[in-house]
Chains A and B, each alone.
Chain A
Amino acid sequence: MEPTVDILKDLHYRMLRIRLFEEAAGRLFEGNKMPGFLHLYVGQEAVAAGVCVAMRDDDQVSSTHRGHGHLVAKGGDLNKMMAELMGKADGYCNGKGGSMHICDLDLNMLGANGIVGGGTPIAVGAGFANKYKGNDTVSVAFFGDGSTNIGAFHEAINMAAALRLPVLFVCENNEYGEYTRRDKVMAINDVVDRAAGYGIPGVIVDGMDAVAVYEAAVEGLARARRGEGPTFIEAKTYRYYNHHGVQTLGMKYRTDEEVDAWKAKDCIEGFERRVTEAGLISADELAAVRVELEAEVEAAVEFGENSPLPEVSTLLTDVYTEVSR
Chain B
Amino acid sequence: MTATEPEAEVRELTYLGAFNEALFQLMREDEDIFIAGEDVGLTGGVFGSFAGLIDEFGERRCVDTPISEQAIVGLGIGAAVSGLRPIVDLMFMDFILVAMDQIANQAAKLKYMFGGNATLPLTITTNGGAGVSAAAQHSQSLEAMLCHVPGLKVVMPSSPADLKGLLVACVREDNPTILVKNKRMFGKRGPVPEALYEIPLGVGNVVREGTDVTVVAYGRMVPESEKAAERLAEEGVSCEIVDPRTVQPLDTDLLVASARKTNRVVVVHEAVRFGGLGAEIAAQIQEEAFDYLDAPVARIAAPFSPIPFSPGLERHYVPNAKRISEGILETLGRPVPGA
Measured CB to CB, the residues of A under 8 A from B are 60, 62, 91-97, 101, 103-105, 110-111, 113-115, 118, 120-130, 132-133, 139, 151-152, 155-156, 158-159, 162-163, 317-321, 323, 325
Contact = CB atoms under 8 A, between A and B. Distances in A.
A103 B34 CA distance: 26
Contacts of B83: 129, 133
B111 A121 contact: no
A104 B150 CA distance: 22
B205 interface: no
A156 B116 CA distance: 26
B77 A121 contact: yes
B82 A318 contact: no
B238 interface: no
Contacts of A133: 83-84
B268 interface: no
Nearest to B111: A318
B68 A158 contact: yes
B74 A93 contact: no
Nearest to B109: A101
B265 interface: no
A123 B102 CA distance: 12
B152 to A, nearest CB: 9
Given A115-B105, A325-B172, A120 B74 contact: yes
A155 B106 contact: no
B304 interface: no
Contacts of B150: 319
Interface of B: 34, 36, 60, 63, 65-66, 68-84, 86, 101-102, 105-106, 110-120, 150-151, 153, 172-175, 201
A103 to B, nearest CB: 5
Contacts of B77: 121-122, 125
Contacts of B114: 92-93, 96-97, 101, 103, 105, 111
A122 B101 contact: no
B330 to A, nearest CB: 38
Contacts of B110: 111
A137 B234 CA distance: 66
Contacts of A103: 114, 117-118
B84 A132 contact: yes
Q: Which 8 A-B pairs have the closest CB atoms?
A: A125-B78, A121-B74, A93-B115, A129-B82, A155-B71, A155-B68, A94-B115, A318-B116
A115 B84 CA distance: 24
29 contacts: A91-B115, A93-B114, A93-B115, A96-B112, A97-B115, A101-B113, A105-B117, A111-B110, A118-B102, A118-B105, A121-B73, A121-B75, A121-B78, A124-B71, A126-B78, A126-B82, A129-B82, A130-B82, A151-B70, A155-B66, A155-B71, A155-B74, A156-B71, A158-B68, A159-B68, A159-B72, A163-B63, A321-B175, A323-B201
Contacts of B69: 155
A123 B78 contact: yes
A115 B101 contact: yes
Given A96-B115, A105-B114, A114 B105 contact: yes
A156 B82 contact: no
Contacts of A163: 63, 65
A84 to B, nearest CB: 8
B98 to A, nearest CB: 8
A75 to B, nearest CB: 16
